[in-house]
Amino acid sequence: MKNYYQILGVKPTATEAEIKSSYRVLAKKYHPDVNPDDASAASKFADINEANAVLSDPQARAEYDAKLREAAAPHPSQEEIIARQRAQAQEAARQAAFRNMNMNMGGRRDAATMARMRAQAQAQAQANMAQAQIQALVNQAYQQGVTEARAQLDAEIKKLKAALATAVAENKKIKALEDSETELKRKLRDSEEDRRDLEQELFNRDREATLANTRIKELEEALSEQGGNAAKRARNENSELKAELDKAKKTIKELEREKSAIQAEKEKIEKEKSELSDNVSKLERDNKQYDLKNSAQIRLQQDKRRQLQDEIDGLNKKIDELTAELEAVRAENEQWQQYAKSEEFLSDAEKRIEAWTKKTNADKRLAKPTLYGDLGVLIWATDEEITETYNKLHKRYSGKTGDAIVAKLQKVEAAYVVLGDPDKRREYNASINITEERVEAERKLIAENESIMEEYRNQLATKEFWQRFDELTAAAMEGDAESQYTLGTIYYSGEDIDIDYEQAYFWFKEAAKQKHADAMYYLGMCYLNGHGTEKNETNGQGFIRQAAKLGSKPAQKAVKKQGQ
């Protein structure tokens, strides 16, 4: 593990200012641009950047200090780690058993449903733990880096894959039994409904037959009392009733047969239901045996799973740290590359300015003996530039006396008569051997040069700012209060760089220690707004009042406004 304090040459108790000062000195000393032929300097420069990125960040520095202490502290043995993990696994198993007991006592599920739920949960847990143990063993093999660990890993993976396949097969079997049970329950419900319908139909037919017999008896009694046509009608009616009675009896027999068939189907369903119950009981017994057989393995898998998760979390954290460091290095390299490109561009632009000045002077000498020289413009001037120049000269010379001025105005007007007319201008250009192609080419060069000059001015302003920023930083680190205050305002306003309230608060505080009035005012604003520090209105108002007493105009204005 790298010791960043030794790399920067500071003590573990060093302040942020000491770390920054040491970083600046070492970075300038070992920068690759300063040591182009020294490969070790580039490596040293990378270590310096890495150390500064960690130690200049309070949170990253705290985490790094903790790792240093952990590396120096004695580590527990492998046996102690395993014993502690087993104890944790046993406690987790007891809690899981307690939750399962509460669920079984509070729910109203039948034995088949509970067995199915336990079996499914066990199968899923077995699959998850198998996968976790595979990953744990892979990680263990990676860390140990020895042949024995890899051989053990292959053997454990085969065992766990076999256990996983068994769990999957058991899960499929449970699913099939569940589907069979559902189908049998549906058939049983349908059969019960059919049986109830048939019994109702049979009851209705029995009632009709009873009513028919009663009617027959009534008719027979009426027949014995009446004679003649009445007896005949009674016999006819009796015959019809007997026919209906025979039909009803036939229907009753059919219903009896259907009832017997339904009873047989009911007995079949009861038998299947009994077989299903036996299968469920057998499955519960198998699950209990399976639980007893694999309980030790499950505990071990849980231990390894927790250990693996801790290691994965540590690796993820390390990856995040390395990613952040890499991004910081890339950003810094990009800044240096941009700086180098900017320096190269400025150097080329300065050479171009010198060459362009010589060319412009030559163009002026070329235009001087021509009408363009009378107007004071280049031969490549646009129509708008010629008109604008003429208007300025005419306004300057018109109405004034003096032979020289009158002669100058006449030359200007004569030149404009020709150059202000596009056709006459083309004829005049031809007379002095200036082609339209050359005019267009020269105008294109002028436009390109103006674009480059604009970029040059912008980059020159940026370079001047950073030069001033470096000078302010150096002076501020040496204790100059005005430089500290100015640096704080740059960070606070964010006009030329990104806003950084923490840096602003730091430099305002350093300048305020030296009774800098305006720095005290801004320090108070940092406290009032919570910029770069925790929000504290009492501290904020206190610093603003002190700044007003020392003569800070913004602070005096703020105090006066509060008094109103």
Query: How does residue 157 score in pLDDT terms, banded at 50, 70 and 90?
Result: low
Q: Give the residue from 165, 170, 181 showing the smallest Cα distance to 131.
A: 165
Q: What is the pLDDT of residue 121?
A: 57
Query: How does residue 383 score in pLDDT terms, banded at 50, 70 and 90?
Result: very high
Q: What is the pLDDT of residue 98?
A: 47
C-alpha 72: how far from chain center: 36
From CA 215, how far away is CA 208, in angstroms rounded? Answer: 11
**Per-domain boundaries in the chain:** 4-72, 109-344, 346-460, 468-563
Mean pLDDT (whole number) for 26-35: 84
Fold of 109-344: Helix Hairpins (1.10.287)
Q: What is the pLDDT of residue 122?
A: 59
Is residue 141 pLDDT above 50, yes or no? Answer: no
Q: What is the pLDDT of residue 106?
A: 45
Mean pLDDT (whole number) for 319-332: 74
Is residue 529 pLDDT above 70, yes or no? Answer: yes
> Do the domains 109-344 and 468-563 sit in the same CATH topology, yes or no?
no
Number of residues that this document lists for the chain: 564
Greater pLDDT, 3 or 125 = 3
Kindly state the percentage of the chain with pLDDT values over 70: 67
Which stretch of 106-120, 375-389, 515-529, 543-557 has the lowest confidence by average pLDDT? 106-120
Greater pLDDT, 340 or 4 = 4
Mean pLDDT (whole number) for 35-54: 86
Which stretch of 192-196, 224-228, 244-248 has the lowest confidence by average pLDDT? 224-228
Is residue 115 pLDDT above 70, yes or no? Answer: no
Greater pLDDT, 527 or 469 = 527
From CA 148, how far away is CA 155, in angstroms rounded? Answer: 11
Query: How does residue 143 score in pLDDT terms, banded at 50, 70 and 90?
Result: low
Q: What is the pLDDT of residue 104?
A: 45
Q: What is the largest CA-CA distance in the chain?
A: 171
Mean pLDDT of the residues in the chain: 77
Query: How does residue 123 score in pLDDT terms, banded at 50, 70 and 90?
Result: low
Q: In this predicted model, what pLDDT tens digit does every residue of 67-100 receive, in sequence order?
A: 888 877 765 555 565 556 555 655 555 555 445 5
Query: How does residue 45 score in pLDDT terms, banded at 50, 70 and 90?
Result: confident
From CA 536, how far away is CA 528, in angstroms rounded? Answer: 6
Q: What is the pLDDT of residue 322?
A: 79
For 559, the token pair is: 């105090």
Architecture, CATH, for domain 346-460: Orthogonal Bundle (1.10)
Fold of 4-72: Helix Hairpins (1.10.287)
pTM over 0.75: no
Q: How many C-beta atoms surround the C-beta of residue 493 within 10 A?
A: 11
Nearby residues of 551 by Cβ (< 8 Å), 6 or more positions away: 517
Highest-scoring range by mean pLDDT, 234-238, 256-260, 430-434: 430-434
From CA 374, how far away is CA 412, in angstroms rounded? Answer: 6
Q: In this predicted model, what pLDDT tens digit does every residue of 300-309 receive, in sequence order?
A: 777 777 888 8
Which stretch of 100-114, 201-215, 277-291, 542-556 has the lowest confidence by average pLDDT? 100-114
Q: What is the pLDDT of residue 538?
A: 92
From CA 65, how far away is CA 14, in angstroms rounded? Answer: 12
**468-563 domain in CATH 1.25.40.10?**
yes
Q: How many C-beta atoms surround the C-beta of residue 282 within 10 A?
A: 11
Mean pLDDT (whole number) for 259-272: 74
Is residue 480 pLDDT above 90, yes or no? Answer: yes
Is residue 234 pLDDT above 50, yes or no? Answer: no
